[in-house]
Amino acid sequence: MTGAAATDRGARERILAAAVERIARDGIDGVRIARIAMDAGVSTSLVHYHFETREALLEQALEYSYELAGDVRLGAGEGDALESVQRLAAMIDQFLPYPGLLERDWILWVELWLRAVRHPEMRPTAARLYERMRDWFAEAIATGIERGELEAKGADPERIADRVLALADGYGIRVLFGDLEVEHARREIWAALADDLGLPAKAPPPLDPANPRE
Protein backbone atom coordinates (compact mmCIF):
# COMPACT_ATOMS: atom_id res chain seq x y z
CA MET A 1 0.00 0.00 0.00
CA THR A 2 1.40 3.40 -0.97
CA GLY A 3 1.78 6.21 1.53
CA ALA A 4 -1.06 8.16 -0.06
CA ALA A 5 -3.38 5.14 -0.04
CA ALA A 6 -2.56 4.37 3.59
CA THR A 7 -3.21 7.98 4.55
CA ASP A 8 -6.55 7.95 2.71
CA ARG A 9 -7.57 4.70 4.37
CA GLY A 10 -6.59 6.04 7.78
CA ALA A 11 -8.65 9.19 7.22
CA ARG A 12 -11.65 7.14 6.11
CA GLU A 13 -11.46 4.96 9.21
CA ARG A 14 -11.25 8.03 11.45
CA ILE A 15 -14.32 9.44 9.69
CA LEU A 16 -16.21 6.18 10.20
CA ALA A 17 -15.22 5.95 13.87
CA ALA A 18 -16.38 9.54 14.39
CA ALA A 19 -19.60 8.87 12.45
CA VAL A 20 -20.43 5.84 14.59
CA GLU A 21 -20.12 7.89 17.77
CA ARG A 22 -22.08 10.84 16.38
CA ILE A 23 -24.91 8.76 14.91
CA ALA A 24 -25.29 6.88 18.19
CA ARG A 25 -25.34 10.17 20.11
CA ASP A 26 -27.38 12.43 17.80
CA GLY A 27 -29.23 10.12 15.39
CA ILE A 28 -28.57 10.04 11.68
CA ASP A 29 -30.92 12.96 10.99
CA GLY A 30 -29.23 15.05 13.66
CA VAL A 31 -25.70 14.38 12.44
CA ARG A 32 -23.74 17.35 11.12
CA ILE A 33 -21.03 16.59 8.60
CA ALA A 34 -18.93 19.47 9.91
CA ARG A 35 -19.05 17.95 13.40
CA ILE A 36 -17.92 14.55 12.11
CA ALA A 37 -15.10 16.22 10.17
CA MET A 38 -13.97 18.04 13.30
CA ASP A 39 -14.12 14.86 15.39
CA ALA A 40 -12.12 12.97 12.76
CA GLY A 41 -9.60 15.75 12.21
CA VAL A 42 -10.32 16.04 8.49
CA SER A 43 -11.93 18.57 6.16
CA THR A 44 -15.67 18.65 5.53
CA SER A 45 -14.99 18.16 1.83
CA LEU A 46 -13.18 14.89 2.56
CA VAL A 47 -16.21 13.57 4.44
CA HIS A 48 -18.42 14.46 1.47
CA TYR A 49 -15.91 12.80 -0.84
CA HIS A 50 -16.25 9.48 0.96
CA PHE A 51 -19.98 9.70 1.73
CA GLU A 52 -22.28 11.48 -0.71
CA THR A 53 -25.49 11.02 1.32
CA ARG A 54 -26.59 10.40 4.90
CA GLU A 55 -27.78 6.96 3.82
CA ALA A 56 -24.28 6.13 2.55
CA LEU A 57 -22.80 7.41 5.81
CA LEU A 58 -25.16 5.26 7.92
CA GLU A 59 -24.59 2.21 5.73
CA GLN A 60 -20.82 2.46 5.92
CA ALA A 61 -20.87 3.23 9.65
CA LEU A 62 -22.87 0.05 10.20
CA GLU A 63 -20.51 -1.93 8.00
CA TYR A 64 -17.56 -0.52 9.94
CA SER A 65 -19.21 -1.41 13.22
CA TYR A 66 -20.00 -4.90 11.96
CA GLU A 67 -16.42 -5.50 10.93
CA LEU A 68 -15.50 -5.15 14.60
CA ALA A 69 -17.92 -7.97 15.36
CA GLY A 70 -17.74 -11.70 14.71
CA ASP A 71 -15.12 -13.72 16.49
CA VAL A 72 -13.13 -10.53 17.10
CA ARG A 73 -15.78 -9.68 19.69
CA LEU A 74 -15.14 -12.94 21.48
CA GLY A 75 -11.47 -12.13 21.94
CA ALA A 76 -8.69 -11.96 19.37
CA GLY A 77 -8.64 -15.33 17.61
CA GLU A 78 -10.48 -17.12 20.41
CA GLY A 79 -13.85 -17.72 18.75
CA ASP A 80 -13.05 -20.96 16.93
CA ALA A 81 -11.11 -22.32 19.91
CA LEU A 82 -14.08 -22.06 22.28
CA GLU A 83 -16.13 -25.14 23.06
CA SER A 84 -19.45 -24.83 21.20
CA VAL A 85 -21.69 -24.26 24.22
CA GLN A 86 -19.46 -21.43 25.48
CA ARG A 87 -19.16 -20.00 21.98
CA LEU A 88 -22.95 -19.85 21.48
CA ALA A 89 -23.38 -18.16 24.86
CA ALA A 90 -20.69 -15.62 23.98
CA MET A 91 -22.30 -14.95 20.59
CA ILE A 92 -25.70 -14.35 22.20
CA ASP A 93 -23.99 -11.79 24.43
CA GLN A 94 -22.89 -9.93 21.30
CA PHE A 95 -26.48 -9.69 20.09
CA LEU A 96 -27.65 -7.87 23.23
CA PRO A 97 -27.20 -4.20 24.24
CA TYR A 98 -24.86 -4.58 27.18
CA PRO A 99 -23.70 -1.16 28.44
CA GLY A 100 -20.82 0.29 26.48
CA LEU A 101 -19.91 -0.48 22.89
CA LEU A 102 -22.64 -3.06 22.37
CA GLU A 103 -25.28 -0.56 23.46
CA ARG A 104 -23.81 1.98 21.05
CA ASP A 105 -23.93 -0.53 18.21
CA TRP A 106 -27.53 -1.31 19.06
CA ILE A 107 -28.47 2.36 18.70
CA LEU A 108 -27.01 2.26 15.19
CA TRP A 109 -29.21 -0.73 14.40
CA VAL A 110 -32.29 1.17 15.59
CA GLU A 111 -31.30 3.99 13.23
CA LEU A 112 -31.04 1.45 10.41
CA TRP A 113 -34.47 0.00 11.18
CA LEU A 114 -36.08 3.43 11.08
CA ARG A 115 -34.22 4.45 7.94
CA ALA A 116 -35.05 1.21 6.13
CA VAL A 117 -38.76 1.63 6.90
CA ARG A 118 -38.80 5.18 5.54
CA HIS A 119 -36.24 4.81 2.75
CA PRO A 120 -36.59 1.62 0.66
CA GLU A 121 -33.08 2.07 -0.77
CA MET A 122 -31.71 1.17 2.70
CA ARG A 123 -33.51 -2.18 2.87
CA PRO A 124 -30.88 -4.15 0.92
CA THR A 125 -28.27 -2.93 3.41
CA ALA A 126 -30.34 -4.19 6.34
CA ALA A 127 -30.98 -7.51 4.59
CA ARG A 128 -27.29 -7.97 3.80
CA LEU A 129 -26.17 -7.28 7.37
CA TYR A 130 -28.80 -9.61 8.80
CA GLU A 131 -27.71 -12.32 6.39
CA ARG A 132 -24.13 -12.00 7.58
CA MET A 133 -25.15 -12.27 11.23
CA ARG A 134 -27.39 -15.25 10.49
CA ASP A 135 -24.59 -17.00 8.60
CA TRP A 136 -22.17 -16.32 11.49
CA PHE A 137 -24.48 -17.94 14.01
CA ALA A 138 -25.57 -20.78 11.70
CA GLU A 139 -21.93 -21.65 11.01
CA ALA A 140 -21.22 -21.89 14.74
CA ILE A 141 -24.20 -24.23 15.20
CA ALA A 142 -23.22 -26.41 12.24
CA THR A 143 -19.63 -26.62 13.49
CA GLY A 144 -20.82 -27.62 16.95
CA ILE A 145 -22.97 -30.39 15.48
CA GLU A 146 -20.05 -31.65 13.37
CA ARG A 147 -17.81 -31.71 16.45
CA GLY A 148 -20.42 -33.67 18.38
CA GLU A 149 -20.67 -30.86 20.94
CA LEU A 150 -24.27 -30.02 20.02
CA GLU A 151 -27.23 -32.30 19.31
CA ALA A 152 -28.70 -32.01 15.81
CA LYS A 153 -32.28 -33.18 16.60
CA GLY A 154 -33.17 -32.45 12.97
CA ALA A 155 -32.49 -28.76 13.55
CA ASP A 156 -31.75 -26.47 10.62
CA PRO A 157 -28.89 -24.15 11.71
CA GLU A 158 -30.12 -21.28 9.54
CA ARG A 159 -33.66 -21.44 10.95
CA ILE A 160 -32.31 -21.53 14.48
CA ALA A 161 -30.02 -18.59 13.72
CA ASP A 162 -32.93 -16.58 12.30
CA ARG A 163 -34.93 -17.28 15.46
CA VAL A 164 -32.04 -16.16 17.65
CA LEU A 165 -31.78 -12.87 15.74
CA ALA A 166 -35.53 -12.29 16.04
CA LEU A 167 -35.47 -13.00 19.78
CA ALA A 168 -32.42 -10.80 20.29
CA ASP A 169 -34.09 -7.95 18.41
CA GLY A 170 -37.30 -8.27 20.42
CA TYR A 171 -35.71 -8.61 23.82
CA GLY A 172 -32.86 -6.26 23.01
CA ILE A 173 -35.06 -3.29 22.18
CA ARG A 174 -36.81 -3.71 25.53
CA VAL A 175 -33.44 -3.83 27.29
CA LEU A 176 -32.38 -0.71 25.42
CA PHE A 177 -35.25 1.40 26.73
CA GLY A 178 -35.10 -0.07 30.22
CA ASP A 179 -38.16 -2.33 30.23
CA LEU A 180 -36.15 -5.52 30.73
CA GLU A 181 -32.86 -6.55 32.34
CA VAL A 182 -30.24 -7.79 29.90
CA GLU A 183 -29.63 -10.96 31.92
CA HIS A 184 -33.33 -11.83 31.67
CA ALA A 185 -33.12 -11.44 27.90
CA ARG A 186 -30.02 -13.65 27.82
CA ARG A 187 -31.74 -16.41 29.82
CA GLU A 188 -34.84 -16.39 27.60
CA ILE A 189 -32.85 -16.57 24.37
CA TRP A 190 -30.75 -19.40 25.78
CA ALA A 191 -33.87 -21.31 26.85
CA ALA A 192 -35.22 -21.09 23.30
CA LEU A 193 -32.03 -22.74 21.99
CA ALA A 194 -31.61 -25.37 24.69
CA ASP A 195 -34.15 -27.92 23.46
CA ASP A 196 -33.17 -27.67 19.78
CA LEU A 197 -29.48 -28.24 20.40
CA GLY A 198 -29.32 -30.29 23.59
CA LEU A 199 -27.82 -27.41 25.55
CA PRO A 200 -27.58 -27.30 29.34
CA ALA A 201 -30.55 -25.55 30.92
CA LYS A 202 -28.33 -22.76 32.24
CA ALA A 203 -26.04 -20.76 29.95
CA PRO A 204 -22.35 -20.42 30.78
CA PRO A 205 -21.44 -17.05 32.33
CA PRO A 206 -20.22 -14.27 30.01
CA LEU A 207 -16.56 -14.47 29.04
CA ASP A 208 -16.12 -11.14 30.84
CA PRO A 209 -19.25 -10.29 32.89
CA ALA A 210 -18.09 -6.69 33.28
CA ASN A 211 -17.73 -6.16 29.55
CA PRO A 212 -19.03 -8.89 27.20
CA ARG A 213 -17.99 -6.85 24.16
CA GLU A 214 -14.31 -6.86 25.03
Residues in the chain: 214
Q: DSSP class of residue 149?
A: S
SS3 content of the chain, % helix, strand, coil (to 5): 70, 0, 30
pLDDT digits (tens, 9 = 90+) for 146-179: 999 998 777 799 999 999 999 999 999 999 999 9
- What residue type is 162 in one-letter code? D
Asked if pLDDT for residue 132 goes beyond 70, the answer is yes
Nearest to 24 by CA among 67, 73, 57, 70: 57
pLDDT (0 to 100) of residue 72 = 45
Give the C-alpha distances (Å, rounded to integers) separating 8 from 12, 19, 61, 62.
6, 16, 17, 20
Q: Are 212 and 204 in contact (CB under 8 A)?
A: no
* pLDDT in the model for residue 71: 43
Position 213 scores a pLDDT of: 52
CB-CB contact of 162 with 134 (8 Å): yes
pTM above 0.85, yes or no: no
Per-residue pLDDT tens digits for 46-70: 988 888 887 788 788 877 876 665 4
- pLDDT score of 33: 86
The domains of the chain, with CATH numbers, are 3-54 (1.10.10.60), 68-197 (1.10.357.10)
77: region left, alpha or beta (phi > 0 left; psi from -120 to 50 alpha):
left
Q: For residue 4, what pLDDT is reported?
A: 47
Q: Please check whether residue 15 is in contact with residue 42, taking contact to mean a CB–CB distance below 8 angstroms.
A: yes
pLDDT given for residue 135 in this prediction: 92
